[in-house]
Amino acid sequence: MTIQESGTARPAGRPRSEKAEKAIIEATLDLIGEGMGISELSIEAIASRAGVGKTTIYRRWSNKEDLVVDALATLKAPLPPLAGTSVRDDLISLLDLMRRESGDTRNRCVMNIAMNESDRYPQLKARFMKRAVEPRREAMRAVIERGIATGELRADLDVSMGMAMLTGAMMWHTKWAPAGDLAPDLAERVVDAALAGMAP
Domain positions in the chain are 18-73, 87-198
Predicted confidence at residue 115, as pLDDT, reads: 79
Mean per-residue pLDDT, 99-124:
83
Q: Which residue has the higher pLDDT, 56 or 125?
A: 56
User: Percent of the chain at pLDDT above 70?
Assistant: 90
Q: Is 164 a residue whose pLDDT tops 50?
A: yes
Q: Is 180 a residue whose pLDDT tops 70?
A: no
**CA dist 63 → 50, 58, 142 (Å):** 16, 7, 35
In CATH terms, the superfamily for domain 87-198 is Tetracycline Repressor, domain 2 (1.10.357.10)
- The gap from C-alpha 33 to its chain's centroid, in whole angstroms, comes to 15
The string of DSSP codes covering 79-148 is PPPP--S-HHHHHHHHHHHHHHHHT-HHHHHHHHHHHHTTTT-HHHHHHHIIIIIHHHHHHHHHHHHHHH
In CATH terms, the superfamily for domain 18-73 is Homeodomain-like (1.10.10.60)
Tens digits of residue pLDDT in 53-97: 999 999 999 999 999 999 999 988 889 889 888 999 999 999 999
